[in-house]
Amino acid sequence: MPEATAATLGAANAAPLETLIALAQLPPEDCPGEALLLARVSLLDWLICGIAGASEPVAEKMRAFAAAEQGGDGPASLFGGGMAPARMAALVNGTTSHALDYDDTHFDHVGHLSVGLYPAALAVAEARDASVLELSAAFLVGAESAIRLGRVLGAAHYNRGFHQTATAGAFGATVAAGRLAGLDDAQMRVALGLCATRASGLKSQFGTMGKPLNAGIAASNGVEAAQLAALGLSSADDGIFGQQGFVETHTDAPGAFLGGLTDFRFMDNRYKFHACCHGLHAMIEGLRDIAGQVDPSQVARLHVRTNPRWLRVCDLKAPRTGLEVKFSYAWLAGMVLGGMETGEGGLYTDALAADPALAAFARKVEVTGDAALGDQQGAGTLVLRDGTRIDYSHDLAAPVPPGELMLRVAAKARTVLGARATPVLKMAERIDHDPRGVSAREIGALIRA
């Protein structure tokens, strides 16, 4: 892969597309050290989500699809076992790792980075026998690209119904896959242009198997765009920001592009410790803080306040399935105050959606939008039968050092995976000690086991 040069760095200030191309070639030593550490936190978190998700029905169906289409041949590993060509592996692994909706979120990108990017990066890295340092660096510059494009697409894009995990995320997957495939600047320009005509994904799929499939589509689109560019296909000079390009056709109110090459926003990535939509997490954390003061049977009503954007995402009043429960303030509130472990992915079953006690509690919950709250903040008031009022609030944006995050994610591994966490955490220790000395193929062997 060509190294970033003074000319490349200068070009990064010229136009948004030039910045994305320059990011794709940025050497690891020029990336912020904290961001590289967080990229490895995201790798561990992604592995946890993928291994846990491999037994989900959608994951089993995706492996069956891969076997029917490809017959099990290829250089890239699948969560749950098997091998496939890189593009198919990216599709299967992206879908599998988002099956539990337990993966990281970036609120500038407005989506999930790891499940769209790491599957694309690993699929190419295995074929090249790249190191984990190369893998995580490719993920990082891809993630940064997706974040910056996500900011440009903005709230107008998201509120119209696009799922940015799959739209902006596909461009990040293209950068990550293209970097590992050794694309030069001209080829990366083509790859991003080709991705512009493929990137897709809608929020109408939330609460169904179509939502995790969106993540798989992002990953597979990234691999495909990189592979086609390497083969010499051509594309529009600027399929993203140019006339009739992706931005012009997908948002009415584009945001400003952030051009500083090494001024990374990835450090604002957030990790899930509850297996549901991230829009619910501020409420969950706030209610957990006061749960010890409350007998759920004595609750008369609960008023939940949230940023208005979440009302169209995770305010299902009467979820019909376990997947839909993951998008319901009313159900999760009852679960938290009832002492249920919201971090246990296996809890979210169709039977949970039919739980009469949770249904009764849900009728006491009122959710309203509050524009004064940021999209990582939540607040509310519990009113007890005797008239006592208990307020709560929480801000997910409060900074957490990378070392503490790694400890929390390791604890998540033990909760979610049980005994299966041991080899994953041993691998994480090796990577932390020497990321150059661990091969992407070793990661592949781990996810196949």
Per-residue pLDDT reduced to its tens digit, 370-390: 999 999 999 999 999 999 999
- Below-70 pLDDT ranges, the chain: 1-14
pLDDT at 112: 96
pLDDT at 6: 34
Q: Which helix (H) or strand (E) holds 233?
A: none
CB neighbours (10 Å) of residue 337? 20
Q: What is the CATH number of domain 278-395?
A: 3.30.1330.120
pLDDT at 402: 83
pLDDT at 232: 99
Residue 403's Cβ-count burial label (10 Å; 0-12, 13-18, 19+) is exposed
pLDDT at 258: 86
- 257 DSSP assignment: P
pLDDT at 7: 39
- Cβ neighbors of 130 (< 8 A, separation 6 or more) are 124, 138, 180, 439, 440
Which tens digit of pLDDT belongs to each residue from 244-284?
A: 999 999 999 999 998 889 999 999 999 999 989 989 999 99
CB neighbours (10 Å) of residue 422? 12
| DSSP codes, 260-301 | -TT---GGG-B--SSSS-GGGHHHHHHHHHHGGG--GGGEEE
Task: Write down the CATH superfamily of domain 6-270+401-448.
Answer: 2-methylcitrate dehydratase PrpD (1.10.4100.10)
Whole-structure pTM value: 0.87
Annotated domain spans of the chain: 6-270+401-448, 278-395
pLDDT at 12: 39
